Structure 1
Amino acid sequence: MLSEEMQIVAREEIPRMASDSEEMYKMHEMQELAKRQSEKMAALGQLAGGIAHDFNNQLMSIIGNATMIQKTDDLDKIKEYAERIIHISQNSANLTRKILMFAKKESSTNKPINLKKVMDETYRMVESIISSEFEVQYNYGAEDKIILGDEAQIENLLVNLILNSKDAVENQFGKIQVGTVDTVVFSPMVLSHGEILKPGKYITIYVEDNGVGISEDVFMKIFEPYFTTKEKSNGTGLGLSVVFGTVKSHSGFLDVKSNVNSGTRFEIFLPVHSKKQIIKRSKIEFKSNLIMLVDDDEHVLDVEAELLEDLGYEVVKFNKPLDALDYYSQNHRAIAFSVIDLCMPIMTGKQLFEKMRQINKTTRAFFITGYAKQADYEELTKRGSIIIEKPFTCEDLSTQIAKIYM
């Protein structure tokens, strides 16, 4: 039996030992957190380096071709250099869209698209690069076809998933199934990576293979940027990260089922688009040829004004929305329609348009933007507004203006 003094010592020792255990646990947690943070920073640095590399190459091409324009009087050569600049600039725009996808930002290009048409065309494109030794089945089984989305992003998503399955069944007899089914969710469901699938009506895209499967220690990491189980020469680790970003930008959900040596099934739930949301615009004729142009970037404003003038319009331009509103309040009867940048300081394009509608309920405008939140995009398109993304060509501008007259 312990003496009273020894009992006191023992009682004091127990909480101290418990305290030591808690401290060790906390220290371990902090070390793990620091490790994960270090890995994230390394991935971010690698991503930033890749972006800088691509952008600098594209800027070098733009500057080089612009320099050659300065040095020649040959009109054919000038046209050739200018076409190169346009092409390179469009590639740069595609790069910024990819960056937003990696960052899982919302897309500003979502519009009603025929998912079946996109999937049919994408499958025909990738079918030729899938080995003939694989059994590949494709079936668009869903009755619904229309979603709110971006064709290029959906195509990229499908290509990534199909090639991922191809790699999983490589060097063995394999089978890949691609298709869709209608899905109605009545109550919230927990998906593989912790997301909650909300009740609603969806088109489910599935890509399934009978390949090597995904091990338990890898499963929760597959959507992390730059995580890959492939050799460096065979993959960057960005494929599934892009897939996840695309799904999120389409207000969708993603579920994965996999067993080692038994295959993997990816399921993507995309909301069905309600056709009732589309507002038809009545045909209108303008007596005036005057356009009010509003963009806070003066350099961009000048170029946009020249493009509009080249299309035959008279342009009054403003780089401050408050100045534009003041002008509109005095001269709105003379303005055929307005071209307004969505993202501006002090007053956004959407706010400016609302103020203009208070002055003139029948005012017409379309919006230009370098980046718009999906919520704003959907709200404006539901009203029948037109949105064009920067950078755009003169042909793009002409096509959008034609829609105002419809």
Structure 2
Amino acid sequence: MENAPIMMHSIDQEGRILQVSRFWASKLGYTPEEMVGHQSSDFLTDASRKKAIEDILPQFYKTGSVYNVEYDFVRKDGTEIPVLLSASASLDENGKFVRSLAIIFDNSAAKRSAAALIQSQRTDAIGQLVGGVAHDFNNLLTVIQGNLEFLRSDPDSSERMSFIDDALRATSRGSSLTQQLLAYGRRSHLMPKQIDLNRAVREMDSMMRRVIPASISIQTVEGGGLWTVNVDRHQLDTAILNIVNNACDAMPNSGGKLTIETCNVRISEAYVTERYEDIVPGRYVMLAISDNGHGMGKTIMGKVFEPFYTTKAVGKGSGLGLSMVFGFLKQSKGSVRIYSEVGVGTTFKLYFPAVSGSDQPSTLDQIQEEITGYVKSAKILVVEDEPDVRNVIVRQLSELGLGVAQAASGDEAFAMLAEGYRPEVMLTDIVMPGALQGPELAREARKMIDGLKVIFISGYPKEAAIHGNGVSADDIQFVKPVSKNTLLKGVTELLNKDV
């Protein structure tokens, strides 16, 4: 054993090394004499030592064998070597552990190959993602550009409001797409509202008709007496658009039919038990999207919700669309089912838990009715380094008759405050050029203005929002882009707290 060109060692019932091959000792940079008598776990990394002592060794002493255990040993020079260890024990006539023989294999090459494979897959996935995102954004930009061109060529058209609404909805979906990408791999921050699914589908109808090919017809079947659901509207629109785009790709160029249907359903406990469904029994509103395209086999159906999985050509899809649909439904406490038959078509059924009541967003007129005389006299400081973004926010706030001042950086805003400007509310970007970022600016401003209210606006999802010094629990944090009504409602909410 000592002279065999194999990595081997033997331990006793206490885990001490009894023997070690010179080949294994030299691999670790020791002589056999330096290792014998020490605990075998002494030569492991902290993580592997914990794994050995708490999990592997108790199992080994009980069963007498372990196979292909992954450990990281530490060489004498401090470098690590990943290994696979298999061992069997010798027992005496009473079944008591006497000693063991462990055979160790260097796992370094396999680890490197696995890492290279993962990197290659990641590179391929990023390539698919870039192509897919470009495809999705080009669709949205086509809608925005087309409607703006209609307005420019005929600004007095009777359809002008329809053009504007479609462009705004495309902008919202573009915002949703960027937030989903930034949130990918984390938990997406949902902002659910109580909505009527029939109304949501109707509002998307004209948009879908402009996006899908003219050869494809759309039929909408609205369920009567539909229950209210509590969902994030932007995510819902994106989920529908993702499924519709897939359906269009699945239908032949000669034409096809897309059917969108809503209805109330009750899912019983017996149904869940009999079919092993992972959905909570109760009342749901179902949204079904069907096509008469080429359909899918069981193999593809089993993978469609996997991230980055796509059957489309490079640049035609990111492979993220349906995985995001799946994640969105799970976060919404709902479920999604897929039914497909090759040569017949595919149906996606989205189940949303039903709720009662409604919570419709406030209109600008309703917001203005809430504003008191004190609020109307309030001063607001807008701190944003992007001129176009800053101009839009200032214009939106000015519609309420508020006194609005602006600064292009945290440093510029601090100088204004140091000279005596005293706003009731400060609306600031989080990341800006200069020494003072959003949180630091808020901290310094509150030293000068007692009770200052702050709204932070970021280009990143809310789960990455800031915390800590300079940030109050009463502060509001928005993710760009922010709709006018949302922004004005947030400002009004903060100002009315003192009324």
What is the CA-CA distance between 1:149 and the residue it aligns to?
Answer: 1.5
* Partner SS for 1:286: helix
Q: Distance in 2 between matches of 1:394 and 1:122?
A: 20
- The answer on whether the counterparts of 2:380 and 2:425 sit within 8 Å (CA) in structure 1 is yes
- The answer on whether the counterparts of 2:458 and 2:478 sit within 8 Å (CA) in structure 1 is yes
Pick aligned residue for 2:230 from 141, 147, 165: 147
Q: Distance in 1 between matches of 2:135 and 2:214?
A: 33
Q: Distance in 1 between matches of 2:386 and 2:458?
A: 15
Taking the TM superposition and a 5 Å limit, the aligned residue runs for 1:97-246 are: 97-102=176-181, 104-105=183-184, 106-107=188-189, 111-126=193-208, 136=219, 138-141=221-224, 143-151=226-234, 153-168=235-250, 170=252, 176=259, 178-182=261-265, 196-197=278-279, 202-209=284-291, 211-224=293-306, 227-230=309-312, 236-238=316-318, 241-246=320-325
Q: Distance in 2 between matches of 1:231 and 1:112?
A: 38
Q: Distance in 2 between matches of 1:54 and 1:168?
A: 16
Asked if 1:368 is matched to 2:450, the reply is no
Q: Which amino acid aligns with 2:180?
A: M
Q: Distance in 2 between matches of 1:279 and 1:306?
A: 19
Identity of aligned residues (%): 19
- The answer on whether the counterparts of 1:182 and 1:204 sit within 8 Å (CA) in structure 2 is yes
Q: Which amino acid aligns with 2:480?
A: K
Query: Alpha-carbon deviations, 1:143-178, whole Å to 9, x = none?
Result: 223433234x43343233234335545469877453
User: CA 1:339–1:133 in 2, change beyond 3 Å: closer, same or farther?
Assistant: closer
User: CA 1:213–1:98 in 2, change beyond 3 Å: closer, same or farther?
Assistant: same
- Give the number of aligned pairs: 344
Q: Which amino acid aligns with 1:178?
A: E
User: CA 1:117–1:54 in 2, change beyond 3 Å: closer, same or farther?
Assistant: closer
What is the TM-score of this pair, normalised by structure 1? 0.54
Q: Which amino acid aligns with 1:237?
A: G
User: CA 1:40–1:116 in 2, change beyond 3 Å: closer, same or farther?
Assistant: same
Query: Which residue pairs with 1:390 in the alignment?
Result: 480
What is the CA-CA distance between 1:44 and the residue it aligns to?
Answer: 0.7
Q: Distance in 1 between matches of 2:396 and 2:255?
A: 61
RMSD over equivalenced CA pairs, Å: 6.5
Query: Which residue pairs with 2:405 in the alignment?
Result: 315
What is the CA-CA distance between 1:119 and the residue it aligns to?
Answer: 0.4
User: CA 1:165–1:112 in 2, change beyond 3 Å: closer, same or farther?
Assistant: same
What is the TM-score of this pair, normalised by structure 2? 0.46
Q: Distance in 2 between matches of 1:216 and 1:28?
A: 33
Q: Distance in 1 between matches of 2:404 and 2:308?
A: 50
What is the CA-CA distance between 1:117 and the residue it aligns to?
Answer: 1.5
Query: Alpha-carbon deviations, 1:333-362, whole Å to 9, x = none?
Result: x6444435467999859x97xx89xx65xx
Query: Which residue pairs with 2:31 in the alignment?
Result: none
- The answer on whether the counterparts of 1:286 and 1:336 sit within 8 Å (CA) in structure 2 is no
Taking the TM superposition and a 5 Å limit, the aligned residue runs for 1:308-387 are: 311=398, 313=403, 315=405, 335-341=423-429, 360=451, 366-373=455-462
Which structure carries more helix by proportion? 1
Query: Alpha-carbon deviations, 1:34-66, whole Å to 9, x = none?
Result: 6465233212145347779999xxxxxxxxxxx
Q: Distance in 1 between matches of 2:172 and 2:260?
A: 33
Query: Which residue pairs with 2:351 in the alignment?
Result: 269
- The answer on whether the counterparts of 1:370 and 1:390 sit within 8 Å (CA) in structure 2 is yes
User: CA 1:347–1:211 in 2, change beyond 3 Å: closer, same or farther?
Assistant: closer
Q: Distance in 1 between matches of 2:345 and 2:300?
A: 14
- The answer on whether the counterparts of 1:366 and 1:386 sit within 8 Å (CA) in structure 2 is yes
Query: Alpha-carbon deviations, 1:196-226, whole Å to 9, x = none?
Result: 5457764332223455432232223323565
Q: Structure 2: which 5+ residue stretches go unaligned? A: 1-66, 69-85, 87-103, 138-166, 467-472
Higher relative contact order (CA 8 A, sep 6+): 1
